[in-house]
Structures are given as C-alpha cells and as structure tokens.
C-alpha cells in the first residue's frame, strides 16, 4: 500500500485540483505567518486571522480527502 507522501507526490503530478488546493494552502499559511509575527492584532486583523485559519483547515481537509479518494480508487482497481 502506498504511503500518504507517495500518494501526494503522484497527485501533484496528475491532479490540477490537488496542486491548486495545495498552493492555496501554502499561500494561506504564509499569510497567517505574517499576521502572527505582529505582537498585537486589531479586531479586524483578528477576524481576518480566524477566516484564514478556517480556510486553511478546509484546504487541508480537501487535500486529505483527495488522498483518501486516490487510495480507495487504487484499492478497488483490479490487480494486473
């Protein structure tokens, strides 16, 4: 059985959706890191931070789902 990191590498090569979601996740991570460098956030920045965290988690969940779907499809495929 393939490990998650092997499936991730395969999906990076074969799935545009996976690449797009992964890129968005990395972008959100960078934005969140920039916000977290500040010692004090305004109330508006706190709201933005929470939105970024929620969106980042949704992207991570989608990446995990794509990995799971890939694994399930490969396990159901007949052996050659």
Asked if 2 and 74 count as a contact pair (C-beta separation under 8 A), the reply is: yes
pLDDT of residue 77: 74
Residue 33: the pLDDT is: 97
With contact defined as beta carbons under 8 Å apart, do 71 and 63 qualify? no
Structure tokens at 60: 């991570």
Arithmetic mean of pLDDT, 54-75? 96
Tell whether the model's pLDDT for residue 80 goes beyond 70: no
pLDDT digits (tens, 9 = 90+) for 2-29: 899 999 999 999 999 999 999 999 999 9
Report the length, in residues, of the chain: 80
* The predicted structure's pLDDT at residue 27: 98
CB under 8 Å to 66, separation ≥6 — which residues?
11, 15, 17, 18, 21
**pLDDT confidence of residue 12:** 97
């Amino acid at each position: 059985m393939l490990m998650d990191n092997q499936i991730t590498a395969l999906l990076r090569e074969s799935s545009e959706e996976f690449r797009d979601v992964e890129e968005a996740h990395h972008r959100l991570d960078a934005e969140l890191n920039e916000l977290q460098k500040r010692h004090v956030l305004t109330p508006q920045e706190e709201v933005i931070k929470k939105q970024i965290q929620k969106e980042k988690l949704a992207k991570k969940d989608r990446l995990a789902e794509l990995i799971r779907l890939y694994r399930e499809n490969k396990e159901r495929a007949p052996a050659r």
